[in-house]
Chains A and B, each alone.
Chain A
Amino acid sequence: EIVMTQSPATLSVSPGERATLSCRASQSVSSNLAWYQQKPGQAPRLLIYGASTRATGIPARFSGSGFGTEFTLTISSLQSEDFALYYCQQYNNWPLYSFGQGTKLEIK
């Protein structure tokens, strides 16, 4: 099983600033990584797939990077609606997909 580890657990950032979230895989997942945003009481929403491709309708301030075992989600200028939980997911080996434990992005 591939274990995904996200850091930090909580990130405090001011609106308008940049946020950088990290995700590490226990073994290489190539570029088979997705990022999701989840707000309280809502289902997760796809942000990024293929490590760096934005999903339909996702603003350009969201960007993903990385390959292999190290990945980053960057939000370039935080808006109020961006404060939420973020999860990474590897899909390198069907069907044994796994998620990170999440990063809570909170207002500083």
Chain B
Amino acid sequence: QVQLVESGGGVVQPGRSLRLSCAASGFTFSSYAMHWVRQAPGKGLECVAVISYDGSKKYYADSAKGRFNISRDNSKNTVYLQMNSLRVEDTAVYYCAKELGYGWFDPWGQGTQVTVSS
């Protein structure tokens, strides 16, 4: 079945870096745009970054511009989120999601917790 599995989260000090991975299976990964969406504790959902099916287009939320980089390896069915210069306010559960059809997300991964704290 279609599945997304995130990894790479953890506890990190402000200013440090972390790389998240999302391994996909059960579908033709190279045909779909992929998103990273985060959810801060007790808060709603925020789209952080998106990458087109072939990696040629990348977009970021203002909160991520200049610090985060999204990439993908279609040979490994994996999308990545490199997060640099992390801030306390980046603390959240990070989900990867497959963009299905014209913009809705299905499915989502189970999420990986990122905690930025000194």
Specify which chain B residues have a CB less than 8 angstroms from the CB of A102 in the assembled complex: 44-45
The answer to whether residues A91 and B108 also contact, given A43-B95, A44-B45, A100-B44 and a CB cut-off of 8 A, is no
> Total A-B residue pairs with C-beta atoms closer than 8 Å?
61
Distance between Cα atoms of A93 and B105 in the complex (Å) = 14
Chain A at the B interface: SS class: loop
Task: Tell me which residues across on chain B come within 8 A of A50, comparing CB atoms.
Answer: 102
Chain A interface bracket (under 10, 10 to 19, 20 to 34, 35 or more): 20 to 34
Given contacts A43-B95, A44-B45, A87-B44, contact A97 B103 (CB under 8 A): yes
Asked whether A59 is an interface residue with its Cβ less than 8 Å from the other chain, the reply is no
Chain B neighbourhood of A91, CB < 8 A: 102-104
Q: How many residues of B contact A (CB 8 A)?
A: 22
Given A43-B95, A95-B59, verify A34-B44 contact (CB < 8 Å): no
Chain B 32-57 near chain A by CB (<8 Å), digits 1 or 0: 01010000000011110010000001
Known: A43-B111, A95-B59, A96-B59. A87 touches B45 (CB 8 A): yes
Contact of B105 with A34 in the complex, beta carbons under 8 Å = yes
Decide: A99 and B45 in contact? CB cutoff 8 A.
Answer: yes
- Closest 4 pairs (CB-CB, A-B): A91-B103, A43-B108, A34-B104, A49-B104
Interface residues of A (CB under 8 A from B): 32, 34, 36, 42-46, 49-50, 55, 87, 89, 91-92, 94-102
* Contact (Cβ within 8 A) B50 A95: yes
22 chain-A/chain-B pairs, Cβ below 8 angstroms: A34-B103, A36-B105, A43-B107, A43-B108, A43-B109, A43-B110, A44-B45, A46-B106, A49-B100, A49-B101, A49-B106, A50-B102, A55-B106, A87-B45, A92-B103, A94-B103, A95-B35, A96-B47, A97-B35, A97-B103, A99-B45, A101-B44
